[in-house]
Amino acid sequence: MLPMAKLDADRPEVLLRPLDEPRLAELLDAAVAGAEPDEVMPPVPGPPGWTAERRRAFLDFHRSRSIGTEQPVEETFVIYADGRAAGAARLEGTWAGVEAGLWVTRGQRGRGVGGAAVRRLRELAAERGHQRLIAATTPGNTAARRLLAAAGAHLVATDTSVQAVIEL
């Protein structure tokens, strides 16, 4: 009993909150402080790092996909770990099922935050009436593969991609 109780006490409290403008500012700060641009948005040409252009692109990316448009393509959530923005999670409807995506800041990785976020995404997808949650990653992304497997995903790997399917 004791080791398990200690393990749970070490785990941060993880909550998903819908993205809005104030949370987008928090999310940008978290991304700049704790993630690489290419982990959190499509590539933007130019010198490496969080240039002013990439910060703008990050805001545009989220506004154009969810909170700043009348036709959002995804539902985006800020992941909070112990009350602080620690990443983002999303659900996007596709022909094959609702697609999950997420990233977690470097300082919070390996503490169960990603796993808890996927479990919550799973619940949210089921609440919205979806029957299948899908996700994609790369063969070298061990953390993502383990996280998806732990969430009950069936994984199909090729040389270049890993496709995950979770029946809800």
**Contact flag: residue 113 with ligand COA (CB under 6 A):** yes
Closest CB to ligand COA among residues 12, 72: 12
Q: Which of 146, 155, 156, 167 touches ligand COA by CB under 6 A?
A: 146
**Contact flag: residue 34 with ligand COA (CB under 6 A):** no
Return the HEC string of the chain. CHHHHHHHHHCCCEEEEECCHHHHHHHHHHHHHHCCHHHHCCCCCCCCCCCHHHHHHHHHHHHHHHHCCCCCCCEEEEEEECCEEEEEEEEEEECCEEEEEEEECHHHCCCCHHHHHHHHHHHHHHHCCCCEEEEEECCCCHHHHHHHHHCCCEEEECCCCEEEEEEC
Binding-site size, ligand COA (CB under 6 A): 20
Closest CB to ligand COA among residues 131, 142: 142
Among 4-12, 63-71, 106-114, 122-130, the segment contacting ligand COA (CB under 6 A): 106-114
Which residues, in sequence order, are CB contacts of 36 under 8 Å at separation 6+? none
Interface of this chain with ligand COA, residues 38 to 77, rule: CB under 6 A: 39
Closest CB to ligand COA among residues 28, 147: 147
Q: How many CA atoms lie within 13 A of 42 on its CB side?
A: 6
**Contact flag: residue 142 with ligand COA (CB under 6 A):** yes
| Rounded least distance, CB 13 to ligand COA, Å | 14
**Contact flag: residue 37 with ligand COA (CB under 6 A):** no
Contact residues for ligand COA (CB under 6 A)? 39, 102-104, 109-115, 135, 137, 141-144, 146-147, 150
